Structure 1
Amino acid sequence: MSTTTAALDLPDVRLHYELRGEGPLLVLIGAPMDADAFAPFAVELATDHTVLTSDPRGAKRSILHDRSRGSSPQQRADDLAALISHVDRGPAVVFGSSGGAVTSLALVQSHGDLASTVIAHEPPLLELLPDRVEQRRLTDELTAAALSGDRVGAWRLFFAQANIPMPEEMLVQWFGGEVDPQHQEDEQFWFQHELPASVRWEPDVGTLRARADDLVLGIGEESVDQLCERTTTALGAQLGIEPTRFPGDHTGFVDHPAEFSARLREVLAH
């Protein structure tokens, strides 16, 4: 399947994006996940959709001209709105995962006419939790570790906060060696700007409740007792939406693209 790769220049960022397939527009977004992480999932869905993927601002090929401007959910929603308008095939079905799920909810609030349906998969909205103060402390602690240069320590704290078991030998293997300079810069940007802005974003419950018929809140079947199961369930309670289960865990669409795309089609059909 052919992929069209292009860039959209906005005043503060050059956004890398990719298009696959033909049909109704379906957008797949993450934060910090880039377009490459979504590629196998996008191929599965492009048999009957035009699938748009992109790198979020400040990550990989989406060049943020002044990185001190950061990456808030609202900024990323504005970027996404510009992309949807640019490809001129909307309104779109939007699937957002993790920080991208927060982006998708911000899009509903500020550019709701561009999204017909939004599937927010495991948005890490920590401010909705009763232990939000402790969660802020944990986020600050792991951010400080990352910015001090303790990469393994930062990721150890991250997985502990997320309640995702991660063996020490795997942490050292994945995060203890040499790292590509671009990846290191993007990761530091995520820890410093994108992560705290995403987990501390507070949704406008009234606006989202008014679009409840167009919203799906997704949780992985294997995400039981993880932090994002708690946050997604808390959001569902406020919006009166029963979360929908999808294959795998927080990254089920990466690990099981065929099964996940089949489940997504079932959900969209209903």
Structure 2
Amino acid sequence: MKTSTLPVPGARLYYEAHGSGPVLLLIAGGNGDAAGFTGMARLLAGRYTVVAYDPRGNSRSELTEPPGTQRIETHADDAHLLLKEVAGEPAYVFGSSSGALVGLDLITRHPGQVRALVAHEPPAVTVLPDRDHWLAFLDGVRDTYMSRGVDAAVAEFSGALGQRPVMEPQGELPPGVREIVARIRRNFDFFFAHEVTSFPRYEPDLPALRTAPVVLGGGLESRDQMPYQATAELATRLGTEVLDFPGDHVGYIPHAAAFAERLHEVLTRN
């Protein structure tokens, strides 16, 4: 694995590259970073140059200016500049959660850089029939974070989305794992302070996406959760379907081998 950093306007992106072959860019969402893709990246490294990075403000991608309100478009510009750095031809892209929204904006505004995009459970709140309910709820989560702190916000957020709450790890962890867990938990502060109300207000460019090489994916175990439901509604708007992937919203972590094979299968038929 090779690691490096890339200066971009307002931040310095940390990224990792595994393997060789056509570039496959992995975009994390929420409080995630490149470490969440390590298992899958190692498995795919014999087929692709797998590039994963920490989104600006998360983990090792430090900001060089005040954060302000984060926008999907700014994060898509980061992905665009990273692809300019690491890929000499159109790349494959996989985005998870809000990272999938970043991928949708990337392929909309920089279509020549993307050979195919797999957007896994993009929480496209603005296409939902009950969008106002969810936007109000997420505004409330930020209020909870500001008044009661990160643990209360995580519990409220995870509970309403039907996802497993983030728990403190049990037992003694290896030092490297402890460091990863600690920084992922710290990233929740950035997410709730600067992203949780702005990211869901992103409006996908539906006419552009209808002609783009986009595959929408969803977890077999998360069909009753809002991000999957938003993905299904987006698929209806685009005249396509949601392809099944192993596990839930972050199935690529506990089911890395099966998820990697499914991703490769989907990419190579597009």
| Cα pair 1:147 1:188 within 8 Å, conserved | no
1:261 maps onto 2:257 in alignment: no
Counterpart amino acid of residue 228 in structure 1: P
Deviation at 1:182, TM superposition (A): 6.0
**Deviation sequence 1:108-129 (CA, Å, 0-9, x none):** 1111111010000000111111
Gaps of 5+ in 1: none
Please name the residue that 1:129 is paired with. 128
Q: Equivalents in 2 of 1:150, 1:237: separation in Å?
A: 37
Please name the residue that 1:30 is paired with. 28
Q: Equivalents in 2 of 1:84, 1:92: separation in Å?
A: 8
**Deviation sequence 1:31-62 (CA, Å, 0-9, x none):** 23101111111111111100000000011111
Counterpart amino acid of residue 62 in structure 1: S
1:113 maps onto 2:104 in alignment: no
**Deviation sequence 1:221-244 (CA, Å, 0-9, x none):** 111211111100010000011110
Please name the residue that 2:205 is paired with. 204
Q: Equivalents in 2 of 1:70, 1:153: separation in Å?
A: 21
TM-score, with structure 2 as normaliser: 0.90
Q: Equivalents in 1 of 2:49, 2:222: separation in Å?
A: 29
Please name the residue that 2:195 is paired with. 194
Describe the SS at the equivalent of 2:116: strand
Deviation at 1:18, TM superposition (A): 0.7
Q: Equivalents in 1 of 2:208, 2:85: separation in Å?
A: 25
Please name the residue that 1:66 is paired with. 65
Q: Equivalents in 2 of 1:181, 1:21: separation in Å?
A: 27
Q: Assess, with a 3 A threshold, how the Cα gap between structure 1 residues 258 and 182 changes in structure 2: closer, same or farther.
A: closer
Alignment map for 1:85-100 (pairs within 5 Å): 85-100=84-99
| Cα pair 2:14 2:60 within 8 Å, conserved | yes
Q: Equivalents in 2 of 1:83, 1:231: separation in Å?
A: 28
**Deviation sequence 1:198-229 (CA, Å, 0-9, x none):** 21111010011121xx1100000111211111
| Cα pair 1:24 1:89 within 8 Å, conserved | no
Please name the residue that 2:2 is paired with. 4
Q: Equivalents in 1 of 2:253, 2:149: separation in Å?
A: 27
Describe the SS at the equivalent of 2:202: coil
Deviation at 1:185, TM superposition (A): 5.3
Q: Equivalents in 2 of 1:8, 1:56: separation in Å?
A: 12
- Higher mean C-alpha displacement, 138-147 vs 19-28: 138-147
Describe the SS at the equivalent of 1:53: strand
- Higher mean C-alpha displacement, 127-136 vs 68-77: 68-77
| Cα pair 1:58 1:67 within 8 Å, conserved | no
| Cα pair 2:14 2:61 within 8 Å, conserved | yes
**Deviation sequence 1:130-169 (CA, Å, 0-9, x none):** 1111111110111111122432321121112212255xxx
Q: Equivalents in 2 of 1:183, 1:210: separation in Å?
A: 36
| Cα pair 2:118 2:267 within 8 Å, conserved | no
TM-score, with structure 1 as normaliser: 0.90
Please name the residue that 2:159 is paired with. 160
- Higher mean C-alpha displacement, 181-190 vs 233-242: 181-190
Q: Equivalents in 2 of 1:65, 1:41: separation in Å?
A: 30
Alignment map for 1:47-86 (pairs within 5 Å): 47-86=46-85
Deviation at 1:193, TM superposition (A): 1.5
- Higher mean C-alpha displacement, 180-189 vs 42-51: 180-189
Counterpart amino acid of residue 97 in structure 1: S
| Cα pair 2:23 2:87 within 8 Å, conserved | no
Indicate the structure whose relative CO is greater, using CA pairs within 8 Å and at least 6 residues apart.
Answer: 2
Please name the residue that 2:239 is paired with. 240
Counterpart amino acid of residue 21 in structure 2: G
Q: Equivalents in 1 of 2:258, 2:185: separation in Å?
A: 32
Among the aligned pairs, what percent are the same residue?
A: 37
Counterpart amino acid of residue 117 in structure 1: A
| CA RMSD between the two structures | 1.9
| Cα pair 1:218 1:243 within 8 Å, conserved | yes
Deviation at 1:98, TM superposition (A): 0.3
Describe the SS at the equivalent of 2:253: helix
| Cα pair 1:222 1:248 within 8 Å, conserved | yes
| Cα pair 2:150 2:189 within 8 Å, conserved | no
Please name the residue that 1:140 is paired with. 139
